């Protein structure tokens, strides 16, 4: 909202600087985002009067103007066509800062010789003064300006650009801001006079109003002004409209715009002769109904749209835009002036539905007080009668189906203390509210009763009044205290700290955390499957997606990590290790999707780090597995690794991670076909763990195991086995012997000196008892039984 300071001063006397005022408004919730100062640098520019105009001796298109500057006369060279003796003009003497009419740049005026004639000043155009883009001729000032006075005394101004929050539609007006200024500077607010003479012919004889949709139109007020003459509005009005960004049109339309800017109430003028049947009907559109709006567009309506119609046809889209057929034209002599209240929801829906927004709709959709309609109507009627020269029909049409007597709101010292933490006397509270113009009276129980302000729509409960008190006393006066209330019990969400622990572990293992978008597409999901045509998991769709790639809620994190790996390989990053902990969204009938938290990691093995000393350990399946094992061990979880059939992973090297026969994740080499689709160099290894399941498993209580006081003994075993026999089978047998406390595989060999189809394994067993030091014979006996079972059940052959 643009608000000129001079206009504000019509309603409130304020003498503080524009900057100070801006600061006060900003702190009170009306953020001043810019102040445009007009005439701030008009130091050497005064009001002058043209005393004589003579031809230039050396140039036909130039003339010599003699100007009375109040301190004598000066003659300057001037090229403007509109030099008239006796006119008041803006005269700049040397040193003035002006905008160059051609380049648009600010320059200092210097004495010059133009075609042989010395010229020490200048008669200015609007553009040179920075008032507008007009450079056609010089600016002619009103007769009442006094010669010799500074131009800024008359035309200087400061225009505030104020961001209005959605609750303060009343502040989309100069008067609304003026009320704020009055309250914040403790000055009285002046209401303009709203009276005007009325003719004996009553308004009802011109038109009748019927509201057929009272839910969408709480109030409709109208006056009729007859015998008007359409013409331009006066300069002062045009200037104010322009300063606020409205284009002057004619005296009638300008008044409706002016009063909208002044009061915040949109108004509309209909050509009375175009209202068929002398009837205004406020109703929902019939389906398929259509009309041309003022912008010459044909609009088709559905029944959501609220229309203003006459007896035969729609003549305006209520609260949004007028119709072309009833527009005020040059030949219009009689108008019906509408000042109505339309429901905020109706106008919001209508404006979105029609994709049409106007200064009027912007105000209505924020919500206006129906009280405003009558006040603004009186003001606009008065101005039209003054400027358009017509006669106002007697009385005002006021159809007000939503008229209710709002109960006054109550506020007391306790209300203020318990919300703001400050103590105010009842009188102080009342004074704050009265500064805002609210009508207050003392109640029976040491409280103040506050009436509904007709210009505001945002004061509906005691808390609203408390905020008003706080705004006027200033938020700066609220002290800083720390919370002294009791602490809540419990620890909050468990998953947060669990997730943090996992992340710290991943980071320590050299993994970089990434965060990817949760939206994807079936095409991208399809890339995760090594065999095309695999059934896709069901995904929740977005009704209004921003693009095809962001149409579904992901059910996997894999495409995210794979895409990020691919992108970073292209920027030549080495040894990439990525992880993400985030949610996937699994659809459920008649409910929000199940948000399942997943840990997904991915490593590549491209270009191992070059190091002068030794080669780093390879990154492969066992690297990832070791990491997963260590992570699980950290939470006391021991998993089995079983052959699985994951579509993203290579059948040659992948496994399901299973705990107590529940699958909690997968690890493995990414299938080459998938890597190719993501443009990733082979190989890459992926793991995925269900964090929610992990949390449940990790929450199981740990039990301390006594540390054995007795030393352990180690024995090595080396044996040949068929290559198809998994290590797990050996583990399962050995684990059955309770004296074995640890088992470490230290060699695995296939190749020379080993028969075809066989592999050689060597592992070290640690024997330890909690009760005694084991004798060699006992250990030997157990070891012998282990070897017997391995050879019998797995066909192992002991190597010596």
The reply on whether position 496 binds other proteins by CB under 8 A is yes
Q: Which stretch binds other proteins (CB under 8 A): 109-117, 123-131, 475-483, 757-765?
A: 475-483
Of 72-80, 139-147, 482-490, 659-667, the segment contacting other proteins by CB under 8 A is: 482-490
Residue 298's SS3 state is strand
3-state secondary structure (DSSP) of residue 35: strand
Give the H or E element holding residue 243.
helix 235-243
- Which residues, at least 6 apart from 231, have a Cβ–Cβ distance to it below 8 Å? 250, 251, 388
What is the number of other CB atoms lying within 10 angstroms of the CB of residue 108?
Answer: 10
* Closest approach of other proteins to the CB of residue 479, in Å: 5
Token pair listed for 178: 């003026």
Among 463, 607, 652, 662, interactor with other proteins by CB under 8 A: 463
Determine the interface stretch with other proteins among 430-438, 496-504, 703-711, 775-783 (rule: CB under 8 A).
496-504
Q: How far is the CB of 358 from other proteins (least distance, A)?
A: 15
Distance CA 240, CA 199 (A): 30
Q: Return the closest-CA partner of residue 597 out of 674, 693, 528.
A: 693
Interface residue with other proteins among 221, 260, 514, 649 (CB under 8 A) is 514
CB of 634 to other proteins, least distance (A): 16
In the complex, the smallest distance separating the C-beta of residue 423 from other proteins, rounded to whole angstroms, is 11
Decide: 564 and 578 in contact? Cβ < 8 Å.
yes
476 contributes a contact to other proteins by CB under 8 A: yes
Minimal distance, residue 610 CB to other proteins, in Å:
9
Residue with tokens 């012997």: 737
What strand order describes the sheet that includes 797-798?
Answer: 740-749, 758-767, 713-722, 797-798
Shortest gap between Cβ of 294 and other proteins (angstroms)?
24
Q: Residue 717 pairs with which residues in a beta bridge?
A: 763
Would you give the binding string for other proteins spanning residues 643-682, x where CB under 8 A is met? ----------------------------------------
Any bridge partners for residue 71, and if so which?
Answer: none
Q: Is 506 near other proteins (CB under 8 A)?
A: yes
Kindly state whether residue 605 participates in binding other proteins, applying the rule CB under 8 A: no
**Would strands 334-341 and 552-553 be described as parallel, antiparallel, or unpaired?**
unpaired
Q: How far is the CB of 23 from other proteins (least distance, A)?
A: 10
Binding region for other proteins (CB under 8 A) out of 88-96, 565-573, 753-761, 771-779: 565-573
Q: Which is nearer to other proteins, 117 or 422 (CB)?
A: 422
Nearer to other proteins, 290 or 507 (CB): 507
Binding of residue 531 to other proteins (CB under 8 A):
no
Cβ atoms within 10 A of the Cβ of 652, count? Answer: 10
Interaction between residue 613 and other proteins (CB under 8 A): yes
Instruction: Based on the shown chain and the rule CB under 8 A, indicate whether residue 593 belongs to the binding site for other proteins.
Output: yes
d(CA 448, CA 427): 9
Q: Hey, what are 479's tokens? A: 């002290």
800 in contact with other proteins (CB under 8 A): no
Give the shortest CB-583-to-other proteins separation in angstroms: 6
Rounded Cα gap, residues 270 and 225, in angstroms: 11
CA–CA separation, 122 and 45 (whole Å): 9
Segment lying near other proteins (by CB under 8 A), choices 378-386, 426-434, 567-575, 717-725: 567-575
Binding flags for other proteins, 156-175, as an x/- string (CB under 8 A): ---------xxxx-------
Shorter beta-carbon distance to other proteins: residue 80 or 422: 422
CA 334 to chain centre: 45
Structure tokens at 421: 């933490």
Q: Which is nearer to other proteins, 551 or 656 (CB)?
A: 551
Instruction: Say whether residue 592 binds other proteins (CB under 8 A).
Output: yes
Nearer to other proteins, 397 or 469 (CB): 469
Q: Which residues of 217-245 are buried (b: 16+ CB within 10 A; e: fewer)?
A: bbbbbbbbbbebebeebeeebbbbbebbe
Omega cis (within 30) before 794: no
Least distance CB 716 / other proteins (angstroms): 28
Q: Among 1, 335, 564, 790, which residue sits at the site for other proteins (rule: CB under 8 A)?
A: 564
501 binds other proteins (CB under 8 A): no
Is 503 a residue that touches other proteins (CB under 8 A)? yes
User: Least distance from C-beta 496 to other proteins, angstroms?
Assistant: 5
Q: Which two tokens stand for residue 423?
A: 């103590």
Contact pick of 121, 322, 367, 370 for other proteins (by CB under 8 A): 367
Contacts of 504 (CB under 8 A, 6+ apart): none
615 binding other proteins? (CB under 8 A): no
Q: According to the binding rule CB under 8 A, does residue 690 interact with other proteins? A: no
Is residue 558 at the binding interface for other proteins, with CB under 8 A as the rule? no
676-to-572, 601, 682, 757 alpha-carbon distances in Å: 17, 18, 8, 33
* Count of residues of this chain found to bind other proteins when the rule CB under 8 A is applied: 93
Minimal distance, residue 466 CB to other proteins, in Å: 6
Q: How far is the CB of 492 from other proteins (least distance, A)?
A: 3
The two tokens of residue 736 are 């059955």
The CA distances from residue 153 to 145, 157, 617, in Å, are 10, 9, 83
213 binds other proteins (CB under 8 A): no
DSSP, res 623: H
Count the neighbouring beta carbons within 10 Å of the beta carbon of residue 59: 14
> C-alpha angle 41/47/53, rounded to 5°?
125
Query: Looking at beta carbons only, is 315 or 564 nearer to other proteins?
Result: 564
Tell whether residue 517 is a contact of other proteins (CB under 8 A): yes
Q: Which of residues 218-237 bind other proteins (CB under 8 A)?
A: none
- Is residue 599 a contact partner of residue 584, using CB atoms and an 8 Å limit? no
Tell me which stretch binds other proteins (CB under 8 A): 13-21, 44-52, 55-63, 578-586: 578-586
The CA distance from 76 to 123, in Å, is: 8
* Position 355 contacts other proteins (CB under 8 A): no
419 binds other proteins (CB under 8 A): yes
480 binds other proteins (CB under 8 A): yes
Q: Find the angle CA(168)-CA(174)-CA(178) to the nearest 5 degrees.
A: 85
Site for other proteins in 15-74 (CB under 8 A): 26-29, 31
Taking CB under 8 A as the rule, does residue 195 contact other proteins? no
Q: Is 776 exposed, middle or buried (0-12, 13-18, 19+ CB in 10 A)?
A: exposed
404 forms part of the interface with other proteins (CB under 8 A): no
Q: Which of 36, 69, 344, 766 binds other proteins (CB under 8 A)?
A: 344
């Amino acid at each position: 909202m643009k608000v000129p300071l001079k206009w504000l001063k019509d309603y409130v006397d304020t003498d503080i600087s524009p900057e100070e005022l801006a600061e006060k408004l900003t702190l009170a919730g009306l953020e001043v985002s810019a102040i445009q100062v007009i005439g701030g640098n008009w130091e050497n520019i005064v009001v002058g009067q043209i005393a004589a105009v003579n031809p230039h001796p050396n140039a036909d298109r130039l003339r010599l103007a003699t100007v009375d500057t109040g301190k004598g006369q000066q003659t300057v060279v001037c090229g403007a066509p509109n030099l008239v003796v006796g006119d008041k003009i803006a005269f700049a003497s040397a040193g003035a800062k002006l905008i160059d009419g051609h380049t648009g740049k600010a320059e200092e005026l210097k004495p010059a010789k133009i075609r042989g004639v010395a010229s020490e000043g200048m008669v200015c155009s609007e553009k040179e003064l920075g008032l507008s883009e007009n450079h056609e001729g010089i600016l002619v000032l009103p007769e009442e300006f006094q010669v010799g006075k500074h131009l800024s005394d008359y035309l200087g101004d400061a225009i505030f650009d104020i961001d209005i929050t959605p609750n303060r539609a009343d502040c989309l007006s100069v008067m609304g801001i003026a009320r704020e200024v009055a309250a914040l500077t403790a000055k009285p607010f002046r209401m303009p006079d709203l009276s005007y003479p009325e003719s004996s012919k009553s308004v009802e004889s011109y038109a009748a109003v019927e509201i057929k949709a009272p839910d969408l139109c709480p109030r409709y007020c109208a006056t009729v002004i007859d015998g008007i003459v359409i013409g331009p509005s006066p300069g002062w009005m045009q200037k104010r409209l322009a300063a606020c960004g409205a284009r002057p049109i004619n005296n009638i339309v300008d008044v409706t715009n002016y009063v909208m800017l002044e009061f915040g109430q949109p108004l509309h003028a209909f050509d009375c002769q175009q209202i068929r049947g002398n009837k205004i009907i406020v109703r929902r559109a019939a389906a398929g109904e259509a009309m041309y709006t003022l912008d010459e567009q044909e609009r088709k309506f559905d029944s959501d749209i609220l229309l203003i119609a006459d007896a035969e046809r729609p003549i305006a889209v209520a609260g949004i835009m007028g119709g072309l057929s009833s527009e005020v034209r040059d030949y219009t002599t009689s108008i019906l002036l509408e000042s109505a209240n339309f429901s905020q929801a109706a106008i919001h829906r209508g404006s979105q539905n029609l994709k049409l927004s106007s200064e009027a709709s912007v105000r209505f959709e924020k919500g206006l007080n129906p009280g405003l309609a009558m006040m603004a109507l009186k003001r606009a009627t008065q101005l039209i009668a003054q400027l358009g020269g017509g006669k106002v029909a007697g009385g005002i049409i006021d159809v007000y189906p939503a008229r209710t007597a709002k109960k006054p709101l109550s506020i007391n010292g306790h209300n203020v203390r318990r919300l703001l933490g400050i103590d105010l006397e009842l009188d102080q509270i009342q004074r704050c509210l009265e500064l805002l113009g609210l009508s207050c009276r003392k109640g029976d129980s040491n409280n103040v009763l506050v009436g509904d302000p007709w210009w505001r729509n945002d004061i509906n409960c005691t808390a609203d009044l408390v905020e008003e008190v706080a705004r006027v006393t200033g938020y700066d006066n609220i002290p800083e205290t720390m919370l002294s209330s009791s602490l809540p019990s419990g620890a909050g969400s468990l998953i947060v700290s669990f997730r943090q622990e996992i992340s710290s572990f991943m980071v320590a293992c050299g993994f970089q955390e990434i965060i990817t978008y949760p939206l994807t597409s079936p095409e991208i999901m399809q890339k995760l499957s090594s065999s095309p045509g695999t059934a896709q998991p069901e995904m929740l769709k977005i009704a209004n997606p921003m693009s095809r790639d962001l149409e579904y809620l992901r059910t996997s994190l894999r495409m995210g990590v794979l895409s990020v790996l691919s992108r970073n390989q292209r920027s030549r990053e080495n040894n990439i290790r990525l992880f993400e902990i985030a949610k996937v969204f699994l659809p459920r009938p008649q409910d929000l999707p199940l948000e399942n938290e997943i840990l997904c990691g991915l490593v590549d093995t491209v270009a191992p780090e070059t190091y002068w000393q030794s080669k780093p350990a390879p990154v492969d399946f066992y690297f990832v597995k070791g990491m997963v094992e260590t992570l699980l061990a950290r939470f006391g979880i021991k998993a089995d690794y079983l052959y699985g059939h994951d579509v993203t992973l290579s059948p040659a090297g992948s496994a399901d991670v299973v705990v107590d026969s529940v699958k909690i994740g997968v690890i493995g080499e990414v299938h080459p076909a998938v890597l190719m689709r993501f443009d990733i160099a082979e190989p890459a290894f992926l793991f995925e763990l269900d964090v929610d399941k992990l949390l449940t498993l990790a929450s199981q209580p740990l039990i301390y195991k006594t540390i054995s006081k007795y030393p352990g003994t180690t024995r090595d075993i080396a044996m040949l086995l068929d290559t198809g026999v998994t290590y797990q089978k050996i583990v399962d047998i050995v684990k059955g012997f309770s004296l074995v406390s640890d088992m470490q595989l230290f060699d695995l060999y296939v190749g020379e000196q080993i028969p075809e189809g066989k592999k050689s394994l060597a592992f070290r067993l640690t024997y330890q008892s909690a009760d005694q030091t084991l004798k060699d014979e006992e250990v030997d006996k157990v070891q012998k039984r282990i070897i017997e079972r391995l050879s019998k059940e797995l066909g192992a052959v002991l190597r010596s």
